[in-house]
Amino acid sequence: MSTAPADLTPAERSTLAECIRRAHAASDAPGKAGISAAVMKDGAVLAWGDNQVFLDHDVTRHAEVVAMSRATAALGAPDLSGCTLLSSLQPCEMCLSAMRFAGIDRVIFAATKARVAAKYFMFPALSIDQFKDADKTSFHWIGGVLEDEVVALYADGDE
């Protein structure tokens, strides 16, 4: 189950707002999809990532994966334990799995699966709660934060 949005720190709320701003900006740029993410540790942003699927012609270059890749490079190690992933859109199944492989156990996102186009999720019957239950470790998520500021970007799947 998600934690209440009140459990966000001011730095997390500010970072998520910046993810949303970046998502809107990217949606207007040629070749870019309007999805943005960040990895935070100890209240500071380690790395930003914007969706690069169309720029890199690589289906795995989701914003969350790009942010995690940059964060591990910044730390010089693949372990992101103790970090939080923030995204303008609920992470897909691939990104949630990558997050857990990296050791991230907390994710905060704006637009939720229930309010966006189906194209963003390959396993529509798999809920984030089922993912959490299958994880068997400490995994926390907070969704729908500042959702109204970005959900229209993903409503028709044409961000």
| CB contact at 8 A, 153 and 110 | no
The length of the chain, given as a count of residues: 159
What is the reported pLDDT for 1? 37
Would you say residue 122 lies in a domain? yes
- Pull the structure tokens for residue 16: 């998520």
What is the reported pLDDT for 159? 58
Would you say residue 62 lies in a domain? yes
What is the reported pLDDT for 144? 95
What is the reported pLDDT for 5? 62
Residue 103 φ/ψ region, left for φ over 0, alpha for ψ in the -120 to 50 degree band, beta for the rest: left
Would you say residue 4 lies in a domain? no
Would you say residue 16 lies in a domain? yes
Dist. CA 144–CA 139, nearest whole Å: 17
Would you say residue 1 lies in a domain? no
pTM of the model: 0.91
Q: What residue numbers bound the domain in which 104 lies?
A: 10-154
Active site residues: 64
Residues 6-46: pLDDT tens digits? Answer: 689 999 999 999 999 999 999 887 767 899 999 999 999 99
Buried/exposed code over 95-104 (b: 16+ C-beta within 10 A; e: otherwise): bbebbbebbb
Element (H, E) at 152: helix 151-154
At 15, which CATH number? 3.40.140.10
Would you say residue 5 lies in a domain? no
Q: What is the number of domains present in the chain?
A: 1
Scan for tokens 């942010």, then name that residue. Answer: 67
Would you say residue 3 lies in a domain? no
